[in-house]
Homo-oligomer: A and B are copies of this chain.
Amino acid sequence: MIQTITSRDNSLIKHAKKLMNSPRYRREQRQFVVEGMRLCLDAVASQVTIQSLFYTEQAEKRYQSAVEQIGLIAAKRVKVSPSVMTYLTDTQTPQGVFCVCIALDKNECVYKMDNNPRRILALEDIQDPSNLGTILRTAEAMGIGGVLMSRGCCDIYSPKVLRGSMGAVFRIPFTITEDLPSSLDEMKKMGYWVYGAVPSRQAEPVTGMRFPERSAVVVGNEGNGLTDTCINACGGLVTIPMPGRAESLNAATAAGILLWEMVREDHTQRSGADGNE
């Protein structure tokens, strides 16, 4: 019979708690935590390596087959008391299930992948985990080939990013680069058209352009936009023309509209419809 852990001082519990709270510890350990039934099943389906499954007795009863399914794959099963579960979880109404997973080892750089992705999204220093999660979810929905992130972006394994992405983190190819401008330079040399997104009338309105076969859009930090170094590394600048008075859009909304514009043409061609007929 599996023993139930009731103490917060247990080393497994301490480890999990630290993984939840510390991006640095996650990086050192190359592990992260996935919370909630749906995300855990998403991780399983995406063949994420599950180190250990933590669950309460209540959750085991309620989600019996799912807990079984995850338990079969997890290297370790850990039953915890409800109070330890509440202590550990980030959500207000924990479902009583989470997994410690091994970080996704994506050795291949997104713009060098064999499948030669047509479209790349690059992000510079996106700080808000909800924004990053939303952006990854949108990128997946739009069928973007991969996401390139500066090291200054918030941690992709933070619980909020995982939740906001609806599991897209597990599925979409991504690369974290230490030097985004150099990576953009390299992309250009490889034949990508790299467009920096800026809220400026001097940039090319996205409505007037056609994204080339292989192209990338670069979206900057929420408060400061793209750095000058990054802007200089872009081959062109693109903007979303706005009639209203708000000086700019939320970063996730701007990314959403730009990604949509990247793939929009595919749809108008496929359906034969013409927005300007």
Q: Which residues of A contact B (CB under 8 A)?
A: 130, 134, 137-144, 164, 166, 168, 171, 205, 207-210, 240-246, 248-250, 252-253, 256-257, 260, 263-269, 271, 273-276
Contact = CB atoms under 8 A, between A and B. Distances in A.
Contacts of A268: 207-208, 275-276
Contact of A256 (B137, B140, B168, B249): B249
B250 A140 contact: no
A142 B265 CA distance: 21
Task: Give the one of A141, A241, A248, A266 with max B CB within 10 A.
Answer: A141
Contacts of A134: 250, 252-253
A267 B207 contact: yes
A28 to B, nearest CB: 25
Contacts of A242: 141-143
Contacts of A269: 276
A139 B208 CA distance: 22
Nearest to A130: B130
Counting chain B CB atoms within 10 Å of each CB, the highest count among A139, A241, A248 belongs to A241
Given A130-B130, A260-B260, A137 B208 contact: no
B276 A208 contact: no
A213 to B, nearest CB: 15
A269 B243 CA distance: 13
Contacts of A209: 273
20 contacts: A134-B253, A137-B250, A137-B253, A140-B244, A140-B246, A141-B242, A142-B242, A143-B242, A143-B244, A171-B245, A207-B271, A207-B273, A207-B275, A208-B268, A208-B273, A253-B253, A268-B275, A274-B276, A275-B275, A275-B276
A144 B249 CA distance: 14
Contact of A271 (B138, B142, B205, B210): B205
